[in-house]
Amino acid sequence: MKNKKRYERPIIKQLNTGLMNKFGTRTEYMPVTHIDGVPVKKLIEDYGSPVFVLSERKIRENFKSAKRIFETRYPKVQFAWSYKTNYLNAVCNVYHQEGSWAEVVSIFEYKKAIQNGVSPNKILFNGPDKTNEDLILAIKNDSPIHIDHLDELYRLIELADEMHKKPRVAIRVNMDTGVYPMWDRFGFNYENGQAWDAINKIMASNKLNLIGLHCHIGTYMLAPYAYGVAANKMADLALGIKKRFNKSITYIDMGGGFASKNTLKGAAQIGADIVPEISQFAEAISTSLLNAGFETDDLPYLYLETGRALIDDAGFLLGSVISNKRLSDGRRAVIMDFGVNILFTSFWYNHKISPAQKFSHYTEDCVLYGPLCMNIDVVRENISLPPLQSGDRVVVHHVGAYNITQSMQFIALRPAVVMIDMEGTPHIIKSSETVDDVEKNERMPKHLESFKL
Ligand SMILES: *Cc1c(COP(=O)(O)O)cnc(C)c1O
């Protein structure tokens, strides 16, 4: 009987909703019945369930606000939309209308930006995987090429020679910003001299036009000071280039990575309460750059490739309850019609989820499952929600970044994406997938065409 569990008598305890208690916090009190004035019910009726909804108003507001925040602190600012964060063409074009250039990390994204009509000299070409063919296209187009490693640098020197053209390049720099683990996998390291080595090789070759310096120090960064440190190190390189080669670089690109207001799993407080404001990042960066010692007429442009912080809260996923069940351990489980295949960020965020209809004050802890026939399809391990009935609708918040681009066609077809415009009119910007869409690239060998059962 040694292993017999200790008896603990049951307790009855009054809970205060909204406060921290032994069952966790309740963060979702209010029903969210409308998005930008359009009823959730209507959106689901018209476009199906689940459905992604993006608010054009919020996207523009966020962008304008970030632009103002940076431009009031630093005189020369240029944003470039990070395509991988959300590259639906309608979304990209909202940013381009606002004056944003394009930031791409593959030839696929590069071609998308071209097709959207971005002039190629306003497409920042990042990423470790650029083939010679890709580089030739970018050189012809005069796109800024951000060099990731020495092999790419040498290939560029060769291609420049063959093409009798001086490619416009920047190097990607990684560095110790005091935030660990350090992102040192991309680009050339600052502390160990790799960055200088790359700069010296570029300048010695006389075949490449070094126009900028690029870094992207991490993603979902919660520490503004890290950007201050990074901007200092970038400025130090730029000033060193000026001193050694009497060359002024055009820009310092500080990348993206500002945290969005989502809540990381395991975080003690919800994201909305602890995530720094964009102004704090802007303050750290502009202070470093302005105090670094550039001549006033020789200040480099500040480029920003902000992704998630600009769009996460402009995206919603609307879905419906399929069923309710009790698990064998007594927990309540709710099965939703959206799963982790379209909500990729649920692997690291605890998204805010609101019921879309009125409910009583009573709540209960439950686990939220998706519809996939897979054990990993858990949207939330534990969330406090009012009892939901089959057919009830919910709104998942802060899903604008990375869910659509990383969604996976698996078991189920992917849903439509709708954008609500500035007047409150919804537009389909991506139709829901069909069986034909999924099978479009399949080919059937002759001998497999028929069978008898
Ligand atoms: C992903 C990425 C970004 C955008 O990052 P966010 O965390 O979404 O702001 C910007 N620049 C580069 C090079 C990237 O790879």
pLDDT tens digit sequence for 314-337: 999 999 999 999 999 888 999 999
Does residue 14 fall inside a structural domain? no
pLDDT at residue 8 in the model: 63
Strand-pair category, 364-369 with 378-385: antiparallel
Does residue 443 fall inside a structural domain? no
pLDDT at residue 272 in the model: 86
* Residue 406 vs residue 6, higher pLDDT: 406
Q: At 178, which CATH number?
A: 3.20.20.10
| Pair 76, 300: CB distance under 8 Å | yes
Which of 173, 216, 254 best tests ligand 1's pocket when mutated (most atoms within 8 Å of CB)?
216
Which residue's CA is the closest to the ligand 1 atom numbered 15? 105
Largest CA distance in the chain: 85
Same domain, 160 and 188: yes
Does residue 444 fall inside a structural domain? no
Does residue 22 fall inside a structural domain? no
Instruction: Tell me the two tokens of residue 342.
Output: 């379209």
State the burial class of residue 79 (Cβ atoms within 10 Å of its Cβ: 0-12, 13-18, 19+): buried
Query: Which residue type sits at 371?
Result: P
* Dist. CA 345 → ligand 1 center (Å): 15
Go through the chain and tell me how many residues it has: 453
pLDDT at residue 33 in the model: 97
* Dist. CA 217 → ligand 1 center (Å): 9
Same domain, 49 and 125: no
Contacts of 416 (CB under 8 A, 6+ apart): 47, 48, 51, 52, 428, 430, 431, 432
Same domain, 125 and 264: yes
Instruction: Tell me the two tokens of residue 3.
Output: 């292993």
Q: What are the phi and psi torsion angles at 380 (to 5°)?
A: -145, 130
pLDDT at residue 68 in the model: 98
Any bridge partners for residue 380, and if so which? 368
Same domain, 235 and 176: yes
pLDDT at residue 359 in the model: 85
Same domain, 42 and 166: no
Domain boundary among 310, 339, 369: 310
Residue 442 has pLDDT above 90, yes or no: yes
pLDDT at residue 322 in the model: 97
82 — alpha (psi -120 to 50), left (phi > 0) or beta? Answer: beta
**What are 349-390's pLDDT values in tens digits?**
999 999 999 887 788 899 999 999 999 999 999 999 988 999
Which of 83, 85, 108, 264 best tests ligand 1's pocket when mutated (most atoms within 8 Å of CB)?
85
Question: Count of domains in the chain?
Answer: 2
Q: Which atom of ligand 1 is nearest to the CA of 220?
A: 7
Q: Is 296 helix (H, G, I), strand (E, B) or coil?
A: helix
* Dist. CA 103 → ligand 1 center (Å): 8
Q: At 356, which CATH number?
A: 2.40.37.10
Which of 83, 147, 219 best tests ligand 1's pocket when mutated (most atoms within 8 Å of CB)?
219
Does residue 5 fall inside a structural domain? no
* Residue 29 vs residue 168, higher pLDDT: 168
Residue 253 — pLDDT band, cuts 50, 70, 90? Answer: very high
Same domain, 265 and 406: no
| Pair 138, 176: CB distance under 8 Å | no
Q: Which atom of ligand 1 is nearest to the CA of 305?
A: 10
pLDDT at residue 283 in the model: 98
Same domain, 356 and 256: no
Same domain, 75 and 205: yes
**What are 383-402's pLDDT values in tens digits?**
999 889 999 999 999 999 99
Same domain, 80 and 115: yes
Q: How many helices (H) and strands (E) does the chain have?
A: 13, 20
| Residues near ligand 1 (Cβ within 6 A) | 82, 84-85, 103, 105, 126, 216, 219, 255-258, 305-309, 401
Same domain, 121 and 87: yes
Instruction: Tell me the two tokens of residue 430.
Output: 């991506």
pLDDT at residue 9 in the model: 63
* Dist. CA 294 → ligand 1 center (Å): 27
**What are 71-124's pLDDT values in tens digits?**
999 999 999 999 999 999 999 999 999 999 999 999 999 999 999 999 999 999
Q: Is 151 helix (H, G, I), strand (E, B) or coil?
A: helix
Same domain, 41 and 63: no
| Pair 413, 95: CB distance under 8 Å | no
Same domain, 353 and 407: yes
Does residue 21 fall inside a structural domain? no
Does residue 448 fall inside a structural domain? no
Query: Which residue type sits at 386?
Result: P
Q: Which atom of ligand 1 is nearest to the CA of 306?
A: 9
Q: Which atom of ligand 1 is nearest to the CA of 402?
A: 8
Which of 59, 82, 281, 312 best tests ligand 1's pocket when mutated (most atoms within 8 Å of CB)?
82
Query: Which residue type sits at 337?
Result: D
Q: Which domain holds residue 379?
A: 27-54+313-435
Is pTM, for the whole model, over 0.95? no
* Dist. CA 43 → ligand 1 center (Å): 31
Q: In the predicted model, what is the mean pLDDT of the chain?
A: 94
Query: How many angstroms separate the CA atoms of 114 and 109, rounded?
Result: 9
Q: Which atom of ligand 1 is nearest to the CA of 186?
A: 13
